[in-house]
Amino acid sequence: MVSEIVDTTDEWITSRTGIKTRYVSTTETLLDLAVEASKKALASAGIESKDLDMIICSTIKGDYVTPSMACLIQRDIEAKCPSFDFNAACSGFVYGLDMADAYIRAGKAETILLVSAEAMTRHIDWTDRATCVLFGDGAGAVVLKKGDGLRSIKITAKGDDKLLVIGSVFSPSPFAKQPQIDPAFRMNGGEVFKFAVSSVIKDVKQVMKEAGVEAKDIAMMVPHQANLRVFQAARDKLGFTDEQIANGIDHYGNTSSASIPLLLDELMEQGRLVKGDLIVLTAFGGGLTTGACVIKL
């Protein structure tokens, strides 16, 4: 119980965020989660790992600085293709879709495994009640191939290290003159909340306009799971009903870039999303980055 660690209550967490439960890796490495998600994605796509042309992994920090998560996923699923990580924080999955789309359109790859793997609970200050109640660990993956499913996509960045930051720890050096950097997750929650709501509204309106679709055409909007209240605040401005907005924050918490693919997998498995559905994805987070897209499944 987190209320035994910091001064908080289930009532506060549920009413302010929508979170009820989340997963914290204890014995698993982040690679364990990423490899399991990758194997599941390959099996459900009916693709063999030897047929992958590229593995891209979004993560704010893998198990190592180097090798990348993607290289170790490649080893463990026995693929033979270029593999690399990138960091677009919570917007990583949408950034990854945009990147994969560019490689496929350029003819440089036909089949790409996109993995989002995040161990956010490693970066939390477990004495800071404002943030330690928010995050969970997880990984999700998709296999991407040439097609006309991606109807529109947008990614943005606005450089900022004041509102949301996680510092790095470096090896001690006799030459370093910089002060020690705080390695824990720090966030100005209120300002990030405002940024999130305005970005979701702006980005989703733009990608829906570009795709020529309206709210009534969308089976579901699958947002990055940071706070239930962000989507409630954006819902009316976008013309969605509650039923059209996917919610996984109650059982996953905030898993950064893994939150969208984790939820997509669950919705497909439950039959709540089916082939042919139009969906909107929207994400926002550290950087500050944002991304949104319209996809026909």
Residues that bind ligand UT7 (CB under 6 A): 8, 12, 16-17, 90, 129-130, 133, 189-190, 192-193, 196, 226-227, 254, 285
Which of 71, 123, 132, 224 is catalytic? The answer is 224
How many degrees, rounded to 5, is the angle at CA 239 between CA 234 and CA 240? 75
Q: Reduced to 3 states, what is the DSSP secondary structure of residue 116?
A: strand
Q: Write down the least CB distance from residue 193 to ligand UT7, Å.
A: 4
Q: Between residues 49 and 254, which has the closer beta carbon with respect to ligand UT7? A: 254
- Closest residue to ligand UT7 using C-beta atoms: 189
Q: Establish whether 123 is a catalytic residue.
A: no
Q: Between residues 73 and 283, which has the closer beta carbon with respect to ligand UT7? A: 283
Instruction: Give DSSP secondary structure letters for 236-297.
Output: HHHT--GGGB---HHHH-B-GGGHHHHHHHHHHHTTSS-TT-EEEEEEEETTTEEEEEEEE-
Q: Write down the least CB distance from residue 175 to ligand UT7, Å.
A: 35
Q: Establish whether 90 is a catalytic residue.
A: yes
Which of 71, 90, 132, 293 is catalytic? The answer is 90
Q: Write down the least CB distance from residue 210 to ligand UT7, Å.
A: 24
Cβ contacts of 15 within 8 Å, gap of 6 or more: none
Q: Write down the least CB distance from residue 202 to ligand UT7, Å.
A: 15
Active site residues: 90, 224, 254
